[in-house]
Amino acid sequence: MNSVDVSDLPVEDGVREVLRKRGIVTLNPVQSEAIEKGLLEGKRLLLTSPTGSGKTLIAELGIISHLRRGGARAIYVTPLRALTSEKYNTFKDWELLNFKVGITSGDYDTDDAFLSRYDIVVTTYEKLDSLWRHGPKWLKEADYFVLDEFHYLNDGKRGPVVESVAVRAKRRNLLALSATISNSRDIASWLNAEPVTTNWRPVPLKEGILVADKRIAVTYSDGTSVQLKGTDGILAYTRKVVGEGGQVLVFRNSRKMAETTAWKIAELEFNLKKKEIEELASRLEEVEDAGSSEKSDLIELLRKGVAFHHAGLSKGLRDVIEDGFRRRLIKVITATPTLAAGVNLPARAVVVGDIYRFNRKILGYQEEISVMEYKQMSGRAGRPGFDSEGEAVIVVRNKRDAERVAKKYILSPPEPLESKLGNESAFYSFLLGLASEDATEESVRSMTNEVFLDKEIVKTYVENGILWLRENGFFGEGVKLTKFGRKVADLYINPFTAKTIKDVLSMSGPENCDIPYLHMLALTPDGPLASIGKAEEEDLLDSSPCATFMEVPDEEEEAYQYFSALKIALVVHDWIEEVEEDAILSKYGLGSGDLRSIVETMDWLTYSGYQVSLALDWESHAEIMLKLNKRVSDGVKEELLDLVRVPGVGRKRGRLLYENGLRKPEDLIMDPGKVKSLLGDKIGERIVKEAARIIGGVL
C-alpha cells in the first residue's frame, strides 16, 4: 500500500491546514486506501484495520467531504462515553472551517433540540437509539453516519443497540469502522457497503507466549525466544521492558488481581522523574469524586511508577492515571480488560495475564476470553513515535498450554460477528423502538427484516413480540403505542423493566420505606449489578430497615439476582441517608466508580419509575418515586431537597448550611455573611448569587 501526500489530496486548503496543524503531512496506507476506495466521494465503506491505524482521521475526512458536498448533518457514534469525549475533542479542530461540533450522551428522555445548531454530532449508540424514538427534526435531517468500533455488534450487552442503530443508519450514507472482522464481507453486504480490510499497523506487533513455569521464557510467533530471570513471569517481563525504556500494560481478569499485581510490580526499582511524579500525586489527592483509601493506595503506587485501573475507580482518578501514563511518568498500569476498549492508551508492551475469566451468570464457572478480546488488548502494544515495535505476550502456566493458546489467540482470526438480538429482552425492546417512530405494523415488520439476525428467527420473534407487547399494554391496535407504551419508549427502559414496575406496583400499596422501591428497580433488566458472597445474604436481609415487595426465590440464580439487587438498594439507601462516602465504599466493598455508576443508574430508574407511575395514573406511587428520584440524584435526606436546588450546594455543604440554620435558598440570600463564614468567601459569594438566581431574587 502507498501513502498519499496531504498536498496531493483532492480537498480544499482549509482541510490541509487542519491536518498540517496536527503535524500530518502524509496519510498512512490505511487512510490512503480508504480514499482510493471512494471515501471522499461518499462511497459507503466498512473499514477494518488494527487499533491505532488512523481510522478516526478517515472518519473526519469522510464527514468533512460529505458536508462540503452539501450534506446536511453528520453523526459520529461510539460505544463508550469516554470515547465520545475523546472524539469530540478531536473533531473540534474542524470548527476552523466553520463546522459546528456538538456532543450528547446520557439523559435519554429528551430530543436534544439544541443539536439542530450543529453540523457534526458525536454521541453513543445508546443515546442515538433513544433519540430516534423521540424523532427530532434535526436527526431526521442527518444524512451521514459513522459507526465506530463496530465489532461491538458482538457484545452481549451493547450488541443489540449497535444493530438497532445500524438498521436505521444503513438507510443513509454510512461509514463503519472496526478492528479486524473475520466475516467482513458478510457484514459489508448487510450494510450495503464495500469492505476495505488491511492489517497495516503504525508500529509492527510482535506476539508471543510467556511460560511462567520453573524457567521463565517468552517464545514469539516468529520463532525467536528470550529467557528471563526471576520466579514471577509478569514481574520478570515487566522489569525487562521498563529497563529498556518502555511502558507496560498488564491485563488481569479481575479488579483484585489487577490491584494485587500492581503492588507486586511496585516492589521493582524504576528510574522515575520524582518531581513530576509528586505533582501527579498532588493532582490525584485533589480528586473530589473518590474515596480516601483509594487515593492513598494509588498515591503510594504512583511514587513507585505504577497504578491500577478499572471501572471501580472514579472518572477523576482514571483521568489522572491515564494522563500520567501518556506523559510516560507512570511506567506500568495493571488493568481489567475494560481499559483496552475504552481508552487510547498505547504502551511498548502488553501482558495478557489471564485467558480465563469468571462467568457471572454461571456461578463458579470460568470461561476463556474471546479472540476478539485478546486482539483488543494486544492492539494497545506499540507507541507511535516512541517504539519501532510493540510486543504482546500471553501468560500461560506450563509448556503444554503454550502451543494451543498461541494457535487460538495469535495465529487465528477473531470470531465472526453475530447478531445479539436473538433474545426476547433485546428484540422486544427493538420492536418497541421501531413502533415509537409512528410506524405502521407493515413498516415495523419491514424494518425487522433488515437486521443481521437469521430471518427465520426474526419471524418468530416478530410474531411473539408484537403479541407480548400488545398483551402487556404497550401496543393498542396494530403497533400503535398506548400512553404507557409511549412513555416506556421515551424513557428508553427495557419493556421487561416497565412490566416489572407495573406488575409489582399494581399489587402493592404505597410504602413509607424506600427499600422496596429501590430493590424492585435494581431487580429489573436495567438495574445495576453488585457482586455478593454467600455469607453476605443473611447480613443483607438483617440490615434492611424494612421488607421488600418480593420474597426470596428458591432457584439459585434468581436468588443471587435478588440479593444483588438488595445490596444495590441498601447502598442507595445509605447514600440518600447521607452516610459518608468512604463509609459506604468500605461497608459494601465498592470503588468510587461503582458508587457513581450505581447512583447514576438508579437516578435514571427512579425517574423512570415516577414517569411510568404517572402514565398508569398511580399518583401515590408517583409521588414517592419523584421524591426518591430527587434524593438519589443529590444523595440527601428529604429535608435538604430545597437547599440542594442551589447549584454548588451538594450533600456536604447542604448539611453544613442546614445544621447552622440556613435551610432554604431564601435563607442564603438573607444572610450572605454567614454563608461566607461557613463556606469561605469565594464559594460562599458564588452560592449566594446562585440562590438569588434560582428564586428570581436580586442582590
pLDDT value at residue 365: 58
Which grid cell is 107?
Answer: 439523559
Cell numbers linked to 70: 452539501
Label residues 290-315 b or e (16+ Cβ within 10 Å = b).
Answer: bbeebbebbbebbebbbbbbbbbbbb
Domain range 205-406, its CATH number among 3.40.50.1220, 3.40.228.10, 3.40.50.300, 3.90.1150.10: 3.40.50.300
Domains of the chain, residue spans: 4-197, 205-406, 482-635, 640-694
Sign of CA dihedral 123, 124, 129, 130: negative
Binding residues for ATP: 31
Predicted confidence at residue 1, as pLDDT, reads: 53
pLDDT at 698: 44
Chain centroid to Cα 553, Å, comes to: 31
In this predicted model, what pLDDT tens digit does every residue of 371-425 receive, in sequence order?
999 999 999 999 888 899 999 999 998 888 999 999 999 999 999 999 999 999 9
- At 340 the pLDDT is 76
Interval 147-173: pLDDT, tens: 999 999 999 999 999 999 999 999 999
Rounded Cα distance between 342 and 84, Å, is: 10
Percent of the chain with pLDDT over 70: 98
CATH 1.10.3380.30, domain 482-635, yes or no: yes
Query: How confident is the model over 559-593, as pLDDT tens digits?
Result: 999 999 999 999 999 999 999 999 999 999 999 99
Q: What is the per-residue pLDDT for 361? A: 55
Q: What is the CATH number of domain 640-694?
A: 1.10.150.20
pTM for this model (two decimals):
0.93
3-state DSSP helix/strand/coil percent for the chain, to nearest 5?
50, 15, 35
Distances (CA, A) of 97 to 18, 64, 222: 9, 9, 47
Same fold for the domain at 4-197 and the one at 205-406? yes
Residue 352's DSSP bridge partners are 251, 394
Task: Return the SS3 of 157.
Answer: coil
Which of 421, 317, 341, 354 shows the shortest CA–CA distance to 51? 341
Q: What is the mean pLDDT of residues 248-274?
A: 95
Of all residues in the chain, the percent with pLDDT exceeding 90 is: 84
Q: What is the pLDDT of residues 49-96, one digit of tens each?
A: 988 889 999 999 999 999 999 999 999 999 988 889 999 999 999 999
> For residue 298, which of 270, 336, 324, 275 has the smallest C-alpha distance?
324
Q: Over 80: is that where the pLDDT of 364 sits? A: no
What are the binding residues?
Answer: 31
Q: Please write the tens of the pLDDT for every residue from 67-80.
A: 999 999 999 999 98
Cα–Cα distance between 444 and 462 in angstroms, integer?
9
pLDDT at 256: 94
Give pLDDT tens digits for 27-54.
Answer: 999 999 999 999 999 999 999 998 888 9
**Tens digits of residue pLDDT in 514-548:** 999 999 999 999 999 998 888 888 889 888 999 89
The DSSP secondary structure of 229-255, one letter per residue, reads -SS-HHHHHHHHHHHTT--EEEE-SSH
Q: Which long-range contacts (CB under 8 A, 24 or more apart) does 94-101 make?
A: 94/18, 94/60, 94/64, 94/120, 96/14, 96/17, 96/18, 97/14, 97/15, 97/18, 97/64, 99/64, 99/67
Q: In 3D, which of 103, 177, 184, 190 has the Cα closest to residue 147?
A: 177
Q: pLDDT tens digits, residue range 638-695?
A: 999 999 999 999 999 999 999 999 999 999 999 999 999 999 999 999 999 999 998 8
> Can you list the positions of beta strands (E) in 526-655?
none
4-197: CATH number? 3.40.50.300
Q: Which of 276-280, 383-387, 461-465 shows the lowest mean pLDDT across its residues?
A: 383-387
